[in-house]
Amino acid sequence: MSASTDSSLTAQEDQPQQIQLLASTDDDYDGVIVEINDLVMDSTTFLSILRPSISSWKQQGKKGVWIKLPIHLANLVETLIKEGFWYHHAEPKYLMLVHWIADSANTIPANATHRVGVGALVVNEKREVLVIQEKTGHFKGTGSWKFPTGVADQGEEIWETAVREVKEEAGVDSEFVEVLAFRQSHASFFEKSDLFFVCLLRPLSSDIKIQEVEIEAGKWMPFDEYAAQPFMEKYELLRQINDIYLAKINGHYSGFTPVSTKSNYSNQKNSYLYLNAGALKRSNSL
């Protein structure tokens, strides 16, 4: 979405009596975006501006209306809801509400549907796995040793998340090797779907310094010992990951490595395409 104009209000110039309207910018889909910044008013005054604004947008043939409401104007939420707006998504400093004002079918896209998580399989030259025990979460108090996991931050690449989580949870520096596999599940975190990327990393340091708030302990464990833990019998996913790693070190499996590329669908200058670089290289050499 494009940025809004500086002022939150404008005037209807072709009317004998000036009528205040909400300032807006057009999006790419015949809709408008309103960012209410420094505007402070009671709900009655806001309603007297909102209604003619909607009428004006309808006359212009606009379809969807996005209103970005800062947290200090939460008193205006009820007014917007009564006028047909609904919640689209929320962030720490604002709430986004939307309204479809056209007579055609609503095509406003849904809020983000997925959360992205990573699991970091860090293996050294001795074929020892970096493992931790958690103070919180599903494995709390079970005595199970697992590899570091975490959730990607906004704007963070998958490989960056893996390296960061290893450093945060265990204090170990590492470099990303490849994505071994990924899994999609549904109705997971607050009914959102979940993408989980299993990443292979190479350690650049060996000393472990755990993050004491969430991590109980950390150590290097021989892979065979790690894979033989009794709790593995309950988790088919973990057993499959172990099989993939064994196939990898035996030269029978290749995962996906990030290749920098440019995207026309993001404000970010560069993004990454994850692919089997070795197989592509062999194919191009034929």
Kindly list the catalytic residues: 168
* Best CA proximity match to 101, nearest among 51, 58, 49: 58
Q: Which segments of the chain does DSSP mark as H helices, in order?
A: 43-59, 77-82, 158-170, 223-227, 236-249, 277-284
Beta bridge partners of 197: 118, 182
Joined tokens for residue 39: 């505007």
Cα–Cα distance measured from residue 167 to residue 202, given in angstroms and rounded to the nearest whole number: 12
How are beta strands 174-189 and 192-203 bridged, if at all?
antiparallel
Cα–Cα distance measured from residue 78 to residue 91, given in angstroms and rounded to the nearest whole number: 18
Q: How many residues does the chain have?
A: 286
Joined tokens for residue 84: 């047909």
Backbone angles phi, psi at 227, to 5 degrees: -70, -20
| Inter-residue contact 258 to 274 (CB < 8 Å) | yes
User: CA-based Rg of the chain, rounded to a whole angstrom?
Assistant: 26
Beta bridge partners of 4: none
User: Which residue reads 């009671």 in tokens?
Assistant: 42
